[in-house]
A and B are shown apart, each in its own frame.
Chain A
Amino acid sequence: MREYSVLIGGKAGEGINTAGLSIARLFSRLGYRTYMYFDYPSLIRGGHNFAIIRASARPIGAHRTPVDVLLAFDQNSIENHRQRIHRGTTVIYDASQVTKGEGYGLPIDTIVREEDAPPITGNSAMLGALARVAGIGRDVLGDVLRESVPAKHLEANLRVAGRGYDGVESAFSVEPLDAPTLPIMTGNEAAGLGLVHGGLESYVAYPMTPTSNLLHFLAGQAEDLSIKVLHPENEISVILMALGLAYAGEKAAVGTSGGGFCLMTEGLSFAGMAEIPVTIVMGQRPGPSTGMPTYTAQTDLHFVLNAGQGEFPRFVVAPGDIEEAYTWSSTALMLSWKYQVPSIILTDKTLAEGGYSFDIEKIALHPDLEPVLWDGAGEYRRYARTDDGVSPLAFPGREGAVVRANSYAHDEVGFTTEEAGAVTALQEKRFAKGESLKAELAAYPTVKIYGPRNAGATVVCWGSEKWACIEAAERFGARVVQPLVFAPFPARAWKEAMIGAGKVVCVENNATGQLARLLRQQGFDPGRPVLKYDGRPFAVDELEARLREVLA
């Protein structure tokens, strides 16, 4: 099956991200699955932004290095990507900016001026040119513009797109597929909608890449989704506000990245002690410290597993694509409420800001879970001892109940205590919840397997590297094993998935092999590491080459 890759590049502030999504929509209209990788530095104007849009008949979630079409708004967009240009690549460049170009030069400044259109419509000229090069009809181009451009700018964009279309010639022909046009969303958006699916009522966050767009998305949709979206003074306030909301009965989630999560850890530990549900979307980016804010990494696995003083159960899941981001965000929130533990959804910049075709009809949702509520009988004891460790919830405002949350060691009612027997019982109660959570998860797909069993080789990976690994492993006929849940660790499911694993490699976006370390802690052999820690996700072909070194 044919597949297509397009790169669009230019300066920050030129709308490269939006243009990239429009390109994805162009292919989506023809029934293709799309994936978009967006690469940008941490600045507002200038620099070099680019998006790689890949379209295929099969599900995808990773990019490849070579591109079929390169759309360049400036010279950097050609020079920085020479390695992507091959014999079959069509280059279209803005002749007003690019001095040394080979391919089609579109005089975008002139076109925009002649059409009396705003400068940003230059993106539509590129989109039009791409459509022509790819043999995509004007009607499809028009449909995509009609959906993505506000009505008052539509005519100008259509005119400019038409000039782009007429300015180049067809190089190949993208055949329409007999498949539906799928929605295109980012991992952030899917996580946000998954949370709402799971019962979210309030989202609280302080802006931090790569989850700022989750805050922006939910804030923009707050009325349509009937949720509150709050942006307080810092991440400490964020998590405490969420705990206040939850204590009073409202389901809340927060979003951040490593630096913000550092500030949240005292609140996280409080949630663990006081047994207040909270769900945290933790989008990883390269550290330490500020690191590379707009790039990607898988470096905070052990941080989220161990964050917060003291010992308490938690749920940690790392979705690998948009469908998993949706289903597991929903489940994470529901599990947090059922077991009154913190839930952490560990994403990264690749997943959070990547654009994916979202096949909502095909996803297998997990069962709905309900929190355990007080039946109103007798004296209310917030931390009442039960077999599964879960104490029924009541909220302030409930007649007949005095609801006590406490960060100190406490007794069943919630009064502070330092008595040896009481504090031991409390600790054991909390860990009973952890065991109950683990038992519940036995029925969930906590470890996924792709490809043949007994393949002689297994590629282990987690999070957003999932799809690069699935595609690259195919080349070697290898199996892929992807753990999704990291706490409580699904040891039994892991053991089963690794039966007949053969030669094992562990692919990660970090320098130390964090999943490998976790596997060793659990008593498993993680195999040979294949690591990348330059802030960029693996391209499929790049990973193939790395796997060849280890598997061949």
Chain B
Amino acid sequence: MSPQRSAGRPAGGLISPAANTWCPGCGNFAIEHMMKSAIAELSEEEGIPLHNFVLLGGIGCHGKLVDYLNVNGFYGIHGRSIPAATGMRLANPDLKIICHVGDGDIYAEGLDHLIFAAKRNSDITVIVHDNRVYGLTTGQYTPTSPFGFRGRSTPGGISEHPINPLELMLAAGATHIARGYTKKVRHLKDLFKEAILHRGFSFVDVLQICATYFNLTDYYNEHTYEMQEGDVETGRFESALDKIREWDYDRDAPIALGTFYSVRRPIYEEKFQALTAGRPDRRALVRKVIERSR
């Protein structure tokens, strides 16, 4: 059973002709198809034109998704999708900007940008393909690999503990925080739609299977559960923090899936919008400024 047939609307036109090079069984397929369905459904249900979606990718297996979907794409450099996304949102408030990033990509290389986008409440969506291992560079530990992880750069096992990215995002000021799992595709699609519709910075950490280097399918199947109404008060910081701390990406614990936190706050880009509104004759404005220096 392929996920796109079971969980979302058919949206064949959104799959690009680019040849797919992910490993068989890769968790990225689920993310690709659920993002495709989320975009198709949002376009139909919310009237968001398809040409207003932009997908950004970093470098890593996740980034290939940008080639595979038939929407505007910005296939950037390692760890740096987020500032580019903020730039796009500043330039055009109609765009729905979705950053696909990897766990090595954004928790290691580009962590500064993730924290600052959350702090600013930049009106973009960040989807982390968190397989907790470097795939494309063939199997090294990432910031979310568990203690003791043996990778090709750390054959003796790592002596550092992972970061809990959700806790980090809550502390940084993210206004929408969720977690999904690539084997729960319908749930994942709904999380994507909710995140994209959120006004402000939205963050979804997706527990993604790496079929080749770190296959946690059985572990996740056993430990994950979808949060139900009342499991967390998504408008309350302390409640979200408690729930987020239930699992620390390290020790055995139940792994909650769903939205942990969602609040509204002023959007970073909005205050800049008025500055460039209209079609000002900037050359006349330049002359005025020069005249003032006489």
Which A positions have Cβ atoms within 8 angstroms of B?
A: 28, 181-185, 189, 193, 196-197, 199-202, 204, 221-228, 230, 232-234, 236-238, 240-250, 252, 266-267, 270, 358, 360, 395-408, 414-416
Contact = CB atoms under 8 A, between A and B. Distances in A.
Given A227-B282, A407-B77, A415-B18, A396 B289 contact: no
A402 B71 contact: yes
Chief secondary structure at chain A's binding surface? mixed
Q: Which 4 A-B pairs have the closest CB atoms?
A: A244-B87, A244-B84, A248-B91, A183-B293
Contacts of A232: 83, 86, 116
Given A244-B74, A244-B84, A415-B18, A398 B90 contact: no
Contact of B76 (A193, A233, A270, A395): A270
Interface size class for chain B? Answer: 35 or more
B290 A360 contact: yes
A365 B32 CA distance: 50
A363 to B, nearest CB: 11
B170 to A, nearest CB: 19
Contact of B294 (A182, A196, A266, A408): A182
A266 B77 contact: yes
B282 A184 contact: no
Nearest to B64: A416
A226 B285 contact: yes
Q: Dominant SS at the B interface?
A: helix
B282 A225 contact: yes
Contacts of B278: 226
Contacts of B280: 226
13 contacts: A181-B294, A183-B293, A200-B282, A225-B289, A232-B83, A237-B80, A237-B83, A237-B116, A248-B90, A250-B87, A266-B80, A270-B76, A406-B67
A322 to B, nearest CB: 11
Interface stretch (B48-56, B161-169, B183-191, B197-205): B48-56
A270 B77 contact: yes
Given A224-B289, A233-B116, A267-B77, A396 B87 contact: no
Contacts of A395: 92
B291 interface: yes
Given A197-B282, A226-B285, A408 B75 contact: yes
B83 A241 contact: yes
B283 A403 contact: no
B51 to A, nearest CB: 5
Contacts of A398: 51
Contact of B95 (A185, A267, A396): A396
Interface in B266-284: 272, 275-278, 280, 282-283
A405 B75 contact: yes
Nearest to B49: A399
A245 B282 contact: no
B88 interface: yes
B112 A415 contact: no
B80 A396 contact: no
A224 B288 contact: yes
B72 interface: yes
B88 A245 contact: yes
Contacts of A221: 289
B139 interface: no
A183 B289 CA distance: 10
Contacts of B275: 222-223, 226-228
Contact of B91 (A197, A223, A244, A266): A244
B17 to A, nearest CB: 8
B85 A244 contact: yes
Contacts of A396: 51-52, 54, 72, 88, 92, 95
B136 to A, nearest CB: 12
Contacts of A403: 72-73
Contact of A237 (B18, B73, B112): B112
Nearest to B285: A225
A262 to B, nearest CB: 15
B231 interface: no
Nearest to B291: A183
Contacts of B294: 28, 181-184
A243 B138 CA distance: 30
Contacts of B18: 415-416
Contact of B84 (A234, A247, A360): A247
Contact of B86 (A185, A234, A241, A397): A241
B51 A401 contact: yes
A396 B285 CA distance: 29
